[in-house]
Structures are given as structure tokens and as C-alpha cells.
Amino acid sequence: MTATGSTTDDTSGFYRGPIRTTWAIFGARSSELRWAVLLRLLQAVFAGVPVAAVAWIVEQIRVDDFDRGDAWLAGAAVTLSIVAQYLAAWASNRYAWVSTFEVIGEARVRSLAHVQRLPLGVLSSRRSGDVSAALTSDYEMVSTFVSTSLPVLYGAIGLPIAVLFGLVFIDVALTLAVAVSIVVAIPTFLWINARFAVAARERAGLLAIANTRVVEYVRGINEARAYNQVGRQLASFRAAVGDVRRINDQTAVKLVPMAFVAIGIVMLGVPISIAAVSYRALGGPVDIGTAVIFLVLVLQVYAPLVQVGVQVENLRLGDASLQQIGDVMDLAPQEHPAEVRAEPSSADVTFDGVAFGYEPDEPVLGDVGFTASAGTMTALVGSSGTGKTTILNLIARFWDPTEGTVRIGGVDVRDLTSDQLFDAVTVVFQDVYLFQGTIRDNIAFGRSGATDEEIHAAAMAAQAHDFIVALPEGYDTRVGEGGGTLSGGERQRVSIARAILKDAPIVLLDEPSASVDPLNERAIHEALTALVRDKTLIVVAHRLSTIRSATQILVLGRDAEGPSRIVERGDHDELLAASGAYAHQWGERARAAEWQVRT
């Protein structure tokens, strides 16, 4: 499965136009899609039989040679063709539907495998919504497009070609007359489609701006009311809503007439064909029987092309979805060695000349170097936006540095297997994530095969056991996804219990700063204390007592436009004595801690 996945995304990206990308998704199962198309064409050919029969009947009537036997023959041919059409349609749909559903399922799994290899930073950024959409609704749209529209499109194009091919043998000039409108319509159609795309993009851009203003009103409604400014905001909302209408109107003026141009050109083949029949047959070189055939067939040639128009919308939507999926599939995965190359010699963490930026030309961190020795605590402080959390993220390989190396026990983290890395490192996130499942499952997640005793012990150390057993179903209480069962502080303690059970030698902690009540705060603090005992702790620190107790404090800062770097380092007493940035910040924080509100 992954093998075919890599063949599709190795050359020049996943997306290569809607049709080629679709075939690439089918990969080894392309033959099934080919069968769906071929059977659809076969069905179209069978559908030609009744039309031919009708033409034949008309011709027999014209030459006054139509009898009962002919009627039986025609009836049998028509009936047989319907049966054949049914079989072909059934087989074609079976390939088109069942194969597509299965192939899209396989493609989803491939994408899922790809997502699993993306840097964690990508998945915790704003892009995660795009990734979810690509794997769910975008693939669904592709599935609809491939199963219903693609065979129709191929069929709609194939049938007229087949009919025209047959007609060529009867009369070349008349065939050209029937074909000319189609030939003119194709470039027109392509041109219009390109215009559509441009206009749609323009509209999307304008709408995005107007929609932001529309949403602004909703988001700010309570502020607006608090300041008695609803009128002003509503006026701006109404203007934005009016803009949306205007943008849509303008786009419609441009696009709607065009939608009918191509199909109208095709249908102009009818008068052209009548005129050509007149010119060639009445007093011309062509016999009347041929004229009859062309007149009966002409409307049937154009009918399937009219259907194309209906499917074009699906083609456009499917195309957009394929591009979205392509954007996700083209994100560079993160490589982990498959086999153990080196064992970390200790739980030391070392940064050596590390630089990092989300965008290549916008460095966030520059030349960061430090060592956090096993069994010590390193506190990261600095104003917001100086990259404290980024340092934690680089250790856990949410991102990889653009320059320099991060080492654990002397080994570059990029040379550790995923298991090695995360056996060594525990990350305690600010926003707690609990799975759908019981509390027991959620804690046991920390170590596979943990016994109930171990789970209870971890919960006790995390100050969570008491509230868990007080729940009606105890450890079997279900939590997760919008689960209102636990408070924020309780969820946090369950996640710490999970980390305690894992017992990794290095703990990366983004110290909780959002406020909880003092009882919860104390319990969380106790839980963290149990977690970090005898570990290498690297913490983005908020609390004064935490900072003061650090073995080393790294003060991050940036001057003017440059990237953030370590501007001061040392323990609390040394840094205070240095009277630099840290001493100033400390003074401010100490003042904040003493503050009492007065009116």
C-alpha cells in the first residue's frame, strides 16, 4: 500500500491535473477504472442500436418495404439492446462504484500513513484543519466525482465520437457538418472553463474579505453591545453583507451567460446538419436513405454532450478537492531512522548552535546553545514570542532545527528512532488531550501493559485517584471529545498521571498558566512535583517559585528585528546580581505577586 503511495508522490508532487491524479490514485487498480469506462462506452454503443433500428424502420417505410417481419425484427433488436445496455450499465457501475469506494478507502489509508509521518508541528498548527478536511470531505468529493461523473464524462465524449466514426463511412461531408459544432464548441468550452476558474478565484478572494467583515460582527457582538455601539457595527455588517451580494451579482453577470454558450454552440449542429442534408441529398450526390439516417441520428449525437454540462460542476469540485489532498500529500514527511543507530549515553539535553524558523527567511531562534544535565532543572523565561515553547518543540522533534543540532545523551535527536526519542522524553502540553474512552484507558496509554495497581499508583501520585473513585463509574468513566465529566484541572491531572506512568527520564513542561482555583492549582502542582522527581526537567516557567528553584535559568530575548537568542544565563542569585534583563523582570514579577486590588 505504501509502495504505491510513494510511486504516486515521488515525481513532481501528488497533484497533476484532475484526470491524471485520479488514475494515479487508482494505481495498480487502474484496470478496474478502465473497465468502468469501457463498459460505459459499450453501453453507449448498445444504446445506439435502437436509434439505428428507428432509422432503419423509417427508411423501410420510406421505400414502402416495411412489414410485420421487419417489425418483429426491430422489436427484438431494441429489446435485446436494452438487456445488453442493462448488463453493461450494471457492470460499469459496479466497477465505477464499488472499485472507487474501495480505492478511495485505500488512498485514505495511504494519506493517513503520510500524515503520521509529518512533523508534529504541522499537525498542531493551524494547518491541522486542512489536513482533517483533506482526509474526510475532500476524499468524499473525489469519490463522488470518480464514481458518478468520470464515467459519464468519458461516455459523453465517447459516444459521439463512436457515432461520428460510423457516419464517416456513410458520408464524409455530412459527418463533417454534424461534427463542426462539436469541434467549435470544445475550445470554447475550455476557454469558458478557464474564465470560470479565474472569475471564481477572484470572487473567492473578494468574498473572503467581505466574509471576514461579516464574521467580525458576530465575533464582536457582545463588545459592541457592552459599549452601546451595536448600531455602528450593524451598519458595517450590513455593508459587508451588501458587498457579498454585489460581488456575487457581478460574478453571476459574467459567468451565467457563458455557461450556456458552449452547449448552445453544440446544439447549433442541428440547423447546420439539416442544411447540409438539404444541400447534399436534395439534388446532391447523396441518396435519400442516407439523409434519413442523418436526420434521425443528429439529435441523438448531441444529447449526451448536453449531459457534460451537468457533470462539469462535479469535475470542478473534484478537481479542487484533489488539489487540497495534493497540498497535504506534498508536505515533507519527517524521517526517523528505522533501526537503532546509537544509544543515548545519559539523559542530558544539549543544544549546539541551534537556529530555527517556520519560514526559511524568518528565523525565530538563532544560535541557541546550552546543556541541561540529567537530574537538573532548566527554566526558560522571556517575554511572549521569544521562542521558549519552540525550544521544547525542537527537543521533541515537533520541528527540526534549520541549523545546529539537538542532542540527547550525546546523540543527535534525528539519529534516534521514534521509540528511542519518546522513551526518553515526556511532553506535558498546555492544552490537555484526552481520548474517547475510559479514564483507565487514558492513563494506561502511558505504558502498554500497565497493571491496575500501576495505574492507580500513577493516579494517586498525580492527585487524581480521589476524584476518579468519587465518580459514579470510577476508572471506567468515559471521557474525551467534549466530555463535560471532568473539569479542566481534573483533565490536566489525568494527563499527568499518564506521563507519570510513562516515567521517561526527560520531562518537557509548559507550565500551566491559565488560572484554576487554588485547590486545583495545588493538586496540579503536587502532580507535577511527582512527575519531575529525579528527571531532567526543561520548563517554560511562569511561577516565581519554579523559576527561583531552577538549576539554570535561560533568559530569551531579541533585539530589534533579529531572531531570539539566549541573552542571560545562570541561577537565580547570579542573575539577580548581574542586574540585567532578568533582574528587571524579576522585580516586575515580584511586584505583580504583591499586588492587591483597591478602588
CB nearer to another protein: give 17 or 299: 299
Pairing of β 377-381 and β 552-557: parallel
Whether residue 122 contacts residue 331, with contact meaning beta carbons closer than 8 Å, is answered with yes
Can you tell me whether residue 263 is helix, strand or coil? helix
Closest distance of CB 470 from another protein, Å: 11
CB nearer to another protein: give 414 or 525: 525
Closest distance of CB 406 from another protein, Å: 15
Closest distance of CB 499 from another protein, Å: 9
Closest distance of CB 23 from another protein, Å: 19
Whether residue 108 contacts residue 325, with contact meaning beta carbons closer than 8 Å, is answered with no
Whether residue 540 contacts residue 511, with contact meaning beta carbons closer than 8 Å, is answered with yes
Residue 37 CA to residue 25 CA, distance in Å, equals 16
The three grid cell numbers given for residue 243, joined into one nine-digit string = 458587498
CB nearer to another protein: give 16 or 414: 414
Residues 6 or more apart whose CB falls under 8 angstroms from that of 502 comprise 426, 446, 447
CB nearer to another protein: give 16 or 127: 127
CB nearer to another protein: give 322 or 432: 432
CB nearer to another protein: give 261 or 315: 261
Angle formed by the axes of helices 18-26 and 30-62, nearest 10°: 120
Residue 20 CA to residue 14 CA, distance in Å, equals 10
H-run or E-run covering 411 = strand 411-412
Closest distance of CB 467 from another protein, Å: 12
Closest distance of CB 92 from another protein, Å: 8
Residue 22 CA to residue 15 CA, distance in Å, equals 9
Pairing of β 403-408 and β 411-412: antiparallel
Closest distance of CB 295 from another protein, Å: 4
Number of other residues whose CB lies within 10 A of the CB of residue 413: 22
Q: How far is CA 574 from its chain centroid?
A: 50
Closest distance of CB 477 from another protein, Å: 15
CB nearer to another protein: give 30 or 93: 93
CB nearer to another protein: give 275 or 577: 275
CB nearer to another protein: give 19 or 295: 295
Closest distance of CB 101 from another protein, Å: 4
Closest distance of CB 98 from another protein, Å: 5
Using CA atoms, how far residue 500 sits from 97, 149, 398, 550, in Å, is: 49, 54, 21, 21
CB nearer to another protein: give 478 or 542: 542
Angle formed by the axes of helices 452-461 and 518-532, nearest 10°: 120
Closest distance of CB 480 from another protein, Å: 8
Closest distance of CB 272 from another protein, Å: 7
Number of other residues whose CB lies within 10 A of the CB of residue 18: 20
CB nearer to another protein: give 82 or 176: 82
Burial annotation 139-167 (CB, 10 A radius, 16+ → b, else e): bebbbbbbbbbbbbbbbbbbbbebbbeeb
Using CA atoms, how far residue 268 sits from 41, 303, 385, 581, in Å, is: 25, 12, 65, 80
The three grid cell numbers given for residue 563, joined into one nine-digit string = 531572531
Number of other residues whose CB lies within 10 A of the CB of residue 253: 9
Going by C-alpha positions, the residue among 445, 411, 439 that lies closest to residue 426 is 445
CB nearer to another protein: give 17 or 264: 264
Pairing of β 478-479 and β 506-510: unpaired
